[in-house]
Chain A
Amino acid sequence: MGMPISHIMTSGMSGIRAAGDLVARMEFSKSMRIGEAKDYVSKKLGVSTMDLSDEYVMRELREELGLGVITSVAGVPKGIAAKMNIEKLLDIKINSCEMFRNKIA
């Protein structure tokens, strides 16, 4: 248990605490290398690549854009709703969102 957390503290991008999930999505959806993925996400967010791991910058920006935040805030987009906003921001399709859309009338 301590090992993955040690990696997150040493080298990780902190997931939805900052913008780690967004950079990971670009690596996975478009096979972008780390530099390209960070450039892509930072341009879409209008921040510097350094800001992508900065909780101070990302906490408010995520809430403002509806991308999901680490703390539990009533009323802000969560789960699939946040992912639908991520799709629009990053200009990608997310499978679970597609499935969700296909199931509503």
Chain B
Amino acid sequence: MQKMLVKPLQKLRNSLSEVNTMTEYALRMGDGQRIFMTKEQILTDLQEGMADAADLGTIPDLSGDELDKLVDIITTSSRMVGVEPGMEVPVTHDISTIRIDGDQGNSGVGIPSSRLVGMMMHERAFGADTMELGHIDYSYKPVKPIISQEQQTMEVCQQNMIVPLLYGAMPNMGLYYTPDGPFPNPGDLMKSFKIKEAQEAMEGAAEHLTRDIVWIMQRMMASGADGINFDTIGAAGDGDMFASLHAIEQLRKEFPDIYIETGMAGELMLGLHGEMEYDGTVLAGLWPHEQAPLAAKAGSNVFGPVVNTNTSKSFAWNLGRAVTFIKEAVKASTIPCHVNMGMGVGGIPMLETPTIDAVSRASKAMVEIAGVDGI
């Protein structure tokens, strides 16, 4: 009788297993659209994303256990997930209160409010661990003509706020080229094969950028700022990073206790100049795990690595790739790493209203697998 049951039971097991592997889980494309994939497809995409990062950065793969954990995080049936109790990390904020009172260009929700009100909403209504003050243009250069206004606002905010309050903006070295700035546009020069002239324009712009950031922060520190957030370093290429690292170095020297957060713009430092170096290291072509030691060397307290999202790939592919890169950056860094987890970075889909299911899954994966010190 038992023998007679073996074959039908085995057949049943096989068909159940087939049903199980065919179960589809809802996740996202890199642009946020909902898609459905089987567990096997998810694992394949995670492995391919991981392999892409490992290949580009010449860094180790994730372990089998880590991949299994990523699969579990992605396939959890709840809409939102969270880190295990005790594993929470500080969440730092960029873009200041522009997300409250700003326009769509900064994903702002257009609520008329003062910056102090926006700060206090973050601290007391949202539970933000840190905050930053920034102005509506959100680049350092345009702060110069309105520095007194910024100082006054910082003073008022510092009197009312408890959480660490930095001053934040983008280095945005592109503002130093014509028609906005004094230097010829390197893009135009390169199109005319004037490579040396283009490099000289970037070197001049970098010098001005360093000077401006230091000048602004001298005044913000005199108004009680806790420190500075460099948001999107390298957006204008290696000159942008060169200028920022030198500004960090000067600020650390002048203000030994200043808080410095060094946030990057992208995963790969673009070599627009190509020959700029910091501490003997060529900046062009650096990946997050190679950028982190330079940020620490210059004098940063916190490094913010970035991995860009590919909108044509699945959330699984992007998350596998991002976690592989960031895990190595955390390992290589001697200072805390607060990974950038905004729209279109850190595995999060690229849209102005990133879906909560994807945000919470990427957030948990970065803390529990990549081991970040903050977000």
Which residue numbers of A lie inside 8 Å of B, CB to CB?
A: 1-18, 20-21, 23-25, 27-29, 31-34, 37, 49-50, 52-53, 67-68, 70, 72, 78-80, 82-83, 86, 93-96, 99-100
Residues of B within 8 A of A27 (CB): 90, 301-302, 336, 373-374
Contact flag A10-B359 (CB < 8 Å), given A15-B123, A96-B158: yes
Other than the known A1-B99, A3-B342, A10-B364, what 18 A-B pairs have Cβ atoms closer than 8 Å? A1-B109, A2-B359, A3-B353, A7-B341, A10-B359, A11-B91, A11-B375, A12-B129, A12-B375, A14-B88, A21-B162, A24-B130, A28-B227, A29-B259, A31-B301, A50-B86, A86-B162, A95-B258
Q: For chain B, what secondary structure do more than half of its interface residues adopt (helix, strand, loop), or is it mixed?
A: loop
Q: For chain A, what secondary structure do more than half of its interface residues adopt (helix, strand, loop), or is it mixed?
A: helix
Q: Which of A2, A6, A15 makes the CB contact (< 8 A) with B127?
A: A15
Assess the B99–A9 pair: CB atoms within 8 A.
Answer: no
* Nearest B residue to A97, CB-CB: B224
Q: Which of B100, B130, B224 makes the CB contact (< 8 A) with A100?
A: B224
Q: How far is the CA of A32 from the CA of B225 in the complex (A)?
A: 20
Residues of B within 8 A of A2 (CB): 353-354, 356, 359
- CB interface residues, B 222-269, toward A, < 8 Å: 222-227, 257-259, 261
- CB interface residues, B 335-360, toward A, < 8 Å: 335-336, 341-343, 348, 353-354, 356, 359-360
The 28 listed contacts between A and B (C-beta, < 8 Å) are A1-B99, A2-B353, A4-B126, A6-B354, A7-B341, A8-B91, A8-B129, A11-B367, A13-B88, A20-B91, A20-B129, A21-B162, A24-B374, A27-B373, A27-B374, A28-B226, A28-B259, A29-B257, A31-B301, A31-B302, A33-B373, A37-B336, A49-B86, A50-B86, A79-B160, A86-B162, A94-B226, A99-B158
**Among B9-17, B55-63, B76-84, which stretch is in contact with chain A?**
B76-84
Q: How far is the CA of A3 from the CA of B127 in the complex (A)?
A: 13
Q: Report if B128 contacts A (CB, 8 A).
A: yes
1/0 per residue B67-109: CB within 8 Å of A? 0000000000000111101111111110000011000000101
Assess the B86–A8 pair: CB atoms within 8 A.
Answer: no
Assess the B359–A79 pair: CB atoms within 8 A.
Answer: no
**Total chain B interface residues with beta-carbon distance under 8 A:** 66
Q: Report if B34 contacts A (CB, 8 A).
A: no
Q: Which of B162, B227, B356 makes the CB contact (< 8 A) with A79?
A: B162
How close is B81's CB to chain A, nearest CB, in angstroms?
A: 7
How close is A22's CB to chain B, nearest CB, in angstroms?
A: 9
Assess the B302–A50 pair: CB atoms within 8 A.
Answer: no
Assess the B88–A17 pair: CB atoms within 8 A.
Answer: no
Residues of A within 8 A of B160 (CB): 78-80
Residues of B within 8 A of A5 (CB): 126
Contact flag A80-B127 (CB < 8 Å), given A3-B354, A6-B356, A27-B90: no
Residues of B within 8 A of A1 (CB): 99-100, 107, 109
Assess the B164–A68 pair: CB atoms within 8 A.
Answer: no
What are the 5 A-B residue pairs with the smallest beta carbon separation, nearest first?
A96-B224, A20-B129, A28-B259, A96-B158, A24-B90
Assess the A28–B164 pair: CB atoms within 8 A.
Answer: yes
Q: How far is the CA of A96 from the CA of B160 in the complex (A)?
A: 11
